[in-house]
Chains A and B, each alone.
Chain A
Amino acid sequence: MRIVDLLSLIADNLKRRKGRVALTAIGVIIGTAAVVTLISLGAGLQESATSQLWGINDLSNVEVYPGYPDMMGMGMQTFTEDDIKKITPDVVAQFESMPGVQRVIIKQRVNTGIEIRLDKLMAWGSIMGVNLDDLADMGVQANQGITDVSGKNTVVVGSWIKNNFYDPNQRPGDEPLELPELMGQTLKVDFVKWNSDGTETRKSMRLEVVGVLAETRGEADYNIYMDWDEVLKLNDWVAGRRVDYNKQGYDNVTVKATSPEVVIDLAQQITDMGFQAYTPQSQVQSINSFFTIMQVVFGGVGAIALLVAAIGIANTMAMAILERTREIGIMKAIGATNNNILSIFLGEAAGIGFLGGVGGFLLGWAICGLINLLAGSYLASQSGGGTTLATSIPVWLPLFSIVFATIVGLISGLYPALSAATMVPVDALKYE
């Protein structure tokens, strides 16, 4: 039997029992729609969760901090300065030579408290140096001004710094002050160090704000960036001598990988060297695996609906075969093989699954659209806009859902079709 004849015969057979085929397919439609909707909901939640993660655009970064010895099981012992795995210039060079590393950015704070004044306002903050002339090289962008920090007595501030300002003379009941516009302002910064005899020494600087960074949702939002050499000099002043970073090590470095694929591996290597290494990607990974499990569970719930539909198909096919026993006998009498009969009935069952799969995907797609619409308008009314998508249909889902529903149909039809195919022709012909 030619495949085109088989398919047209299956189509004709399905057409001649439209009502029952439709009723059976509705079961599959509901099941498939449930699978599609729940999986899309899971995928949508995953997308909105990962997009809100810190530094999603920094997936190729590894943040490295000095390594502290494992305190577990050490009893009352304390560790000494020597036990700390420090990030010395040698270590930086070592990182730079690792395969997959694009560059290493050193970050070093000024190791003392500061007071910032702007007119009547005061603020606290932390001065950070990076071994770059241009902050753009570490992936940040300017909201105002420039990202170049190499200028004399200039700073580039993070987006949240202006929120640190307060009026020290404010009384209860006063209007809260308006946050200052920092761009172009000159800040008076006092560096304060405490001497061993309890007295304090101050060093004042006037620093001009030449740039305000765009929000990163990361630590850069809270830093005041200053020229690298200037920061090192200030630290020498704080220590009262030239700081030897070969002994003391740097606060922290960012290891930038050549591509996000190697980041997890790189972080692992650095951890194995005794340092603390963090990468947003490991966070993304664990969130992804959580949501994958969630999608499987959601899909499983939908699959129960499909299972019920499968029983419906099996029932419909079993009934059809009872009604058409004589027809099976006739087909055998005129030369149909067991395989022909099997193919016809399996094809009909798969056809019902296929129709249900197509219908179910369309229904699921419509439900997802409706959820997005309702969730969108609800969230908009709650937060005044800025909503995220509630469901997201993965690209593989249309094909998957239709193929899956077809296979469900095929499997449901297996037993009825086999019993049809193996009927003794004469018994089928005599069946009343």
Chain B
Amino acid sequence: MPDNFVQTIDLRKTYNMGETEVHALDGLDLSIPSGSFTVIMGPSGSGKSTLLYLVGGLDWPTSGEIHVDGLEIGRMDENALADYRRNKVGFIFQSFNLIANMSAEANVAFPLRFAGIKKKDRVVRSEELMEKVGLRDRIGHRPTELSGGQQQRVAVARALVNDPPLILADEPTGNLDTASGVAIMSMLDELRKMGKTVLVASHDLRMLNYATHRIYLMDGRMVDEQQYLESISIS
């Protein structure tokens, strides 16, 4: 594994909002080491989520480069990106993004369908992960029958089902109560200890307790901790 698992070079993402251009990312150069727990802090609109989506291959940059595990994903076509998302990345969202009509276990196993895994093996794998996130007894429940914390644990299990090296989490504790939030954070910490590279966008300051690396973003640019703290104290 290369030392810098994720690297961006002069990364830009510009949205056209009618007449005006919004620079969500404005020339970002960053390196994220392999096996790190990196927290991206920043206020709303700072470009945290945009960065995460670009690294996750869910969107294309306007310009610049994104290298993940030696792959330049900014220029990949949709098929190659789908392959990348399936094998290299596990996503965890603020709003869980589970499919409402599927059982918890089916949600966890869902990515394996697109990977062409047989049903028998899917069941074994998803049960194992449901066990791991402590929801063995909730296998047949629908997402609506689970608490927010439980839903997010299902989402974590789903993110791990293809055993990807990179875990991306976008405000994973944003919709959770304090205790559930802590549980998710320590779960992410566990993943780092297993050797995965964890990249979390958050403005939950508790997340910093688990961080091995921190990135502060403001208006699509990296700033140092001092500048960031000043900006939030003013607001």
Contacts and interface: CB of A to CB of B under 8 A. Distances in A.
A182 B83 CA distance: 92
A335 B86 contact: yes
A333 B116 contact: no
B97 A5 contact: no
Interface in A1-26: 1-2, 5, 9, 12, 16
A9 B99 CA distance: 13
Contact of A16 (B97, B101, B110, B116): B101
Contact of B78 (A2, A9, A337): A337
B108 to A, nearest CB: 10
A330 interface: yes
B79 A333 contact: no
- Determine the main DSSP class of A at the interface with B: helix
Interface in B73-99: 78-79, 82-83, 85-87, 91, 93, 97-99
Q: Which of B101, B114, B162 has the most CB of A within 10 A?
A: B114
Interface string A280-317: 00000000000000000000000000000000000000
A333 B170 CA distance: 13
A426 B59 contact: yes
A425 B114 contact: no
A332 B82 contact: yes
A331 B82 CA distance: 10
A334 interface: yes
Nearest to A17: B101
Contacts of A425: 58-59, 85
Contact of A335 (B82, B99, B101): B82
A338 B97 contact: no
Assign chain A's interface to a size class.
20 to 34
B85 A2 contact: no
A336 interface: yes
Given A326-B97, A330-B97, A429-B97, A336 B114 contact: yes
A251 B171 CA distance: 103
B91 A333 contact: yes
A424 interface: yes
B99 A336 contact: no
Interface in B168-192: none
A16 to B, nearest CB: 5
Interface string B26-46: 000000000000000000000
Contacts of B111: 334-335
Contacts of A424: 58-60
B217 to A, nearest CB: 17
B58 A332 contact: yes
A2 B110 contact: no
A2 B79 contact: no
Contacts of A426: 53, 58-59
Given A1-B114, A426-B59, A333 B85 contact: yes
Contacts of A331: 110, 114
Given A425-B59, A429-B97, A334 B110 contact: yes
B213 interface: no
B193 interface: no
B110 to A, nearest CB: 6
A339 B101 CA distance: 23
Contacts of A334: 85-86, 91, 110-111, 114, 158
Nearest to B100: A327
A340 interface: yes
B113 interface: yes
Contacts of B79: 337-339
Contacts of A16: 101
Interface in B137-180: 158, 162
A272 B169 CA distance: 88
Interface in B112-127: 113-116, 118-119
A103 B103 CA distance: 79
Nearest to B115: A335
B220 interface: no
A391 B118 CA distance: 49
Given A330-B99, A332-B82, A429-B97, A337 B58 contact: no
Contacts of A330: 97-99
A332 B110 CA distance: 11
Contacts of B87: 335
Contacts of A336: 82, 114
A339 B79 CA distance: 9
B42 to A, nearest CB: 18
Interface of B: 53, 56, 58-60, 78-79, 82-83, 85-87, 91, 93, 97-99, 101, 110-111, 113-116, 118-119, 158, 162
19 contacts: A1-B116, A16-B101, A330-B97, A331-B110, A333-B56, A333-B85, A334-B86, A335-B82, A335-B86, A336-B114, A337-B82, A338-B78, A338-B79, A340-B82, A424-B59, A425-B58, A425-B59, A429-B58, A429-B93
Given A335-B85, A429-B97, 15 more contacts: A5-B119, A16-B101, A330-B97, A330-B98, A334-B91, A334-B110, A335-B83, A335-B111, A335-B115, A336-B114, A337-B79, A338-B78, A424-B59, A424-B60, A429-B58
